[in-house]
Chains A and B, each alone.
Chain A
Amino acid sequence: MAASNFVRRGAGVPAEAPDGERPRADKGPQGTGDALQVTREARDQTLVVRVVGDLDIRTAATFRQQVDEWFLASDHRRLVLNLSRVTFLDSTGLGAVLGRVRRVRDAGRQMVIVPPGGVSRAVLDVAALGRAVPLYRSERAALDEEAQTHA
Chain B
Amino acid sequence: MPEAPYNHLALEVPSLPVNAELCRLTVAVFAAELPFTLGEIEQLKVAVAEAVGNCILHAYPGEPGRIALRARLADGAVVVDVEDWGRGIADVALARQPSYTTSTDPDHVGLGFAFMEQFTDALEVVSAPGRGTLVRMRKRPAHGQDAVGQQAGLSPRPEEGTGADGRPLRP
Contact = CB atoms under 8 A, between A and B. Distances in A.
Interface of A: 29-30, 35, 54, 56-58, 60, 64, 88-92, 94-96, 98-99, 102, 118-120, 123, 126-127
9 contacts: A54-B21, A56-B21, A88-B46, A90-B53, A91-B53, A91-B110, A99-B106, A120-B42, A126-B111
B118 interface: yes
B108 to A, nearest CB: 5
A126 B118 contact: yes
Contact of A29 (B16, B24, B115, B118): B16
Contact of B46 (A30, A58, A96, A119): A119
Interface in B100-124: 105-112, 114-115, 118-119
B46 A123 contact: yes
A30 B17 contact: yes
A94 B45 contact: no
Which 5 A-B residue pairs are closest in the complex by CB-CB distance? A99-B107, A119-B42, A58-B17, A95-B107, A95-B109
A45 B140 CA distance: 49
Contacts of B119: 119
B107 A91 contact: no
Contacts of A88: 24, 42, 45-46, 49
A94 B20 contact: no
B39 interface: yes
Contact of A56 (B49, B105, B111): B49
A94 B109 contact: yes
B57 interface: yes
A89 B45 CA distance: 10
A127 B109 CA distance: 9
B150 interface: no
Residue in A54, A90, A99 whose Cβ sees the most chain B Cβ within 10 Å: A90
A56 B52 CA distance: 12
Given A54-B21, A99-B106, A90 B46 contact: yes
Interface residues of B, number: 28
Nearest to A31: B18
Contacts of A89: 46
B21 A58 contact: yes
Contacts of A30: 16-18
A28 to B, nearest CB: 8
Nearest to B49: A90
Given A90-B50, A119-B43, A98 B20 contact: no
Contacts of A57: 17, 20, 49, 53, 56-57
Nearest to A35: B21
B115 A123 contact: yes
Given A119-B43, A127-B109, 7 more contacts: A30-B16, A56-B20, A91-B50, A95-B105, A96-B107, A99-B106, A123-B46
